[in-house]
C-alpha cells in the first residue's frame, strides 16, 4: 500500500479519477480476456495510452501502439473509455485534458 500511495499522492483529482478508471478497466479486462494480461502487458498497454495522450497534448495526432497483442487490446479498451469521458466532458473538456 505504501508503494501505491507514494505514486498517487501528487495526482490531481482528474488524474486520480483516470487512474481509478484505468484500474477498474484492467480488472474488468483481465476477467474477460483470454489469455488474461500479465503485469508487463498492463504496463505496456497503459504506457502506450499515456504516450498517446501526451502526444495529443502537444497537438500531434499519433496513436502509440503496444507491441504485444494483449497489451494492445487493453490499450484499445482504455483509450475508448477515455475518449468517451472526454466526449461527455463537454465544456469541461479543457479541465479533462489537463
Q: Is residue 92 part of a domain?
A: yes
Are 77 and 48 contacting, i.e. CB atoms less than 8 angstroms apart? no
Residue 4 belongs to some domain of the structure: no
The answer as to whether 19 is a domain residue is: yes
Kindly state whether residue 23 falls inside one of the protein's structural domains.
yes
Domain membership of residue 78 (yes or no) is yes
Q: How many domains does the chain have?
A: 1
Question: Per the structure block, which three cell numbers stand in for 96?
Answer: 479533462
Tens of pLDDT, residue by residue, the chain (98 residues): 788 888 888 898 888 888 888 889 999 988 988 888 899 999 999 999 999 989 988 989 999 999 999 999 999 999 999 888 888 876 555 555 55
Q: Residue 32 gets which letter from DSSP?
A: H
Are the beta carbons of 79 and 49 closer than 8 angstroms?
yes
Helix (H, G, I), strand (E, B), or coil: what is residue 9? coil
Grid cell of 7 as nine digits: 505514486
In a domain, 2, yes or no: no
Q: Is residue 6 part of a domain?
A: no
Domain coverage including residue 76: 12-97
On whether residue 39 sits in a domain, the answer given is yes
Amino acid at each position: 500500500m505504501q508503494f501505491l500511495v507514494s505514486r498517487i499522492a501528487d495526482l490531481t483529482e482528474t488524474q486520480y479519477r483516470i487512474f481509478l478508471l484505468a484500474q477498474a478497466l484492467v480488472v474488468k479486462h483481465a476477467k474477460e480476456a483470454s489469455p488474461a494480461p500479465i503485469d508487463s502487458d498492463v504496463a505496456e498497454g497503459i504506457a502506450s495510452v499515456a504516450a498517446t495522450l501526451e502526444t495529443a497534448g502537444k497537438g500531434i495526432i499519433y496513436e502509440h501502439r503496444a507491441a504485444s497483442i494483449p497489451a494492445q487490446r487493453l490499450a484499445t479498451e482504455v483509450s475508448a473509455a477515455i475518449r468517451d469521458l472526454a466526449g461527455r466532458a463537454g465544456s469541461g473538456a479543457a479541465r479533462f485534458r489537463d
